[in-house]
Amino acid sequence: RALVAPSLFEGCNCFRQRLVLSTLSGKRVKIRNIRSKDDNPGLRDFEASFIRLLDKVTNGTRIEINQTGTVLFYQPGLLYGGSVEHECNVQRSIGYYLEALLMLAPFMKTPLRAVLKGVTNDPTDPSVDLLKVTAIPLMKKFGIDGDGLEIKVLKRGMAPAGGGEVLFTCPVRRSMKPVHLTEPGKIKRIRGTAFSVRVSPQMANRIVDSARSILNKFIPDIYIYTDHMKGPCFDPTDSNLYFSSLFQGGCVDSTNQSLSLLYMTLGQQDVSKTLLGPLSPYTVEFLRHIRDFFQIMFKIEQQKPGEDEQKGGEKVLMTCVGAGYSNINKTIK
């Protein structure tokens, strides 16, 4: 039987997207010219760490990297899951690795229990706390629920030393159910957490006061917890970012746009619809890769803001028919 030639990609952009979609589709990929013209060519340590994580949660994966690290060949194995412990490279936060596991975990053979160690919060990647309060509710909309679905911060770690520890558990599912997420609803209450590390606990109280000074102008029902050495950072800048996210609107925040689109793609052969805010450049590339790996294309309709949200950002209604993806790895009982 002749092997199909691997899909060919250039450069280091969208590195995780390509490997995650390759793993789910079972299609081999070859990535060339990875920083080939850089003074320090090839894969970075955090990318090598990501490849090792994929190797741990799969069975039979074949990985080949040339001597300079500028060419990667990846032949995915079967998603196995089980209990995994991984030391994440401190160049990127745990969120960098966790985002990929959120996409893969429901389609494994056995429920995943992953302990990720490293940096829990940094300015580059989504924090673990953000994924906990946004990605988990989104997964439940697609039928991934139960006591086994959880993201838990066991220890907090900051750059450059790391030392944080996060537990992620997820049940497996045979298939995704179609969704219609078209009504964002209104903001009724705001909850948050302020944390302080290696400083006086009073710093967290000052952060809460500065955040509330902005948030109280718009809504009275606000409660921000303070936690020394625990919880996500919250300051006036975060308050403004929060309002920026609300302005963009949609039923899914920009961080989880690609996760929702992936679940729609892998859903049953039925129509799914999701209302999103402006598509991020990362999401646009993700849509192109979905077309390459699964031959699924989305209908994108620009939505006019309703009467209650005249000042909100432009929104798009994403519609697709699922690929009817079935989890062949799941054990039949």
Percent of the chain with pLDDT over 90: 52
* pLDDT single digits (tens) 10-48: 988 999 999 999 999 999 999 999 999 889 999 999 999
Calculate mean pLDDT across residues 178-196. 80
Give the distance from CA 295 to its chain's centroid.
22
78-79 and 58-59 beta bridge pairing: antiparallel
Calculate mean pLDDT across residues 184-199. 75
Calculate mean pLDDT across residues 297-312. 76
Structure confidence at residue 237 as a pLDDT band (50, 70, 90)? very low
The pTM (predicted TM-score) of the whole model is 0.86
The pLDDT value recorded for residue 307 is 61
The pLDDT value recorded for residue 4 is 59
The pLDDT value recorded for residue 246 is 56
The pLDDT value recorded for residue 283 is 94
The pLDDT value recorded for residue 273 is 94
Structure confidence at residue 311 as a pLDDT band (50, 70, 90)? low
* pLDDT single digits (tens) 101-124: 999 999 999 999 999 999 988 888
Distance CA(57)–CA(115), nearest Å, equals: 12
Q: Which of 8-17, 220-229, 317-326 has the lowest mean pLDDT?
A: 220-229
Residue matched to tokens 């809460």: 208
* pLDDT single digits (tens) 270-294: 999 999 988 989 999 999 999 999 9
**C-beta atoms surrounding 59 within 10 Å:** 14
The pLDDT value recorded for residue 249 is 65
Nearest C-alpha neighbor of 60 from the set 39, 75, 38, 81: 75
Residue matched to tokens 């609300």: 246
* Cβ(318)–Cβ(298) below 8 Å: yes
Tell me the C-alpha to C-alpha distance, in Å, between residue 86 and each of 54, 89, 166, 168, 172: 10, 9, 10, 12, 20
Structure confidence at residue 239 as a pLDDT band (50, 70, 90)? very low
Q: What are 1's strand-pairing partners?
A: none
The pLDDT value recorded for residue 271 is 94
Give the distance from CA 184 to its chain's centroid.
20
Mean pLDDT score of the chain: 85
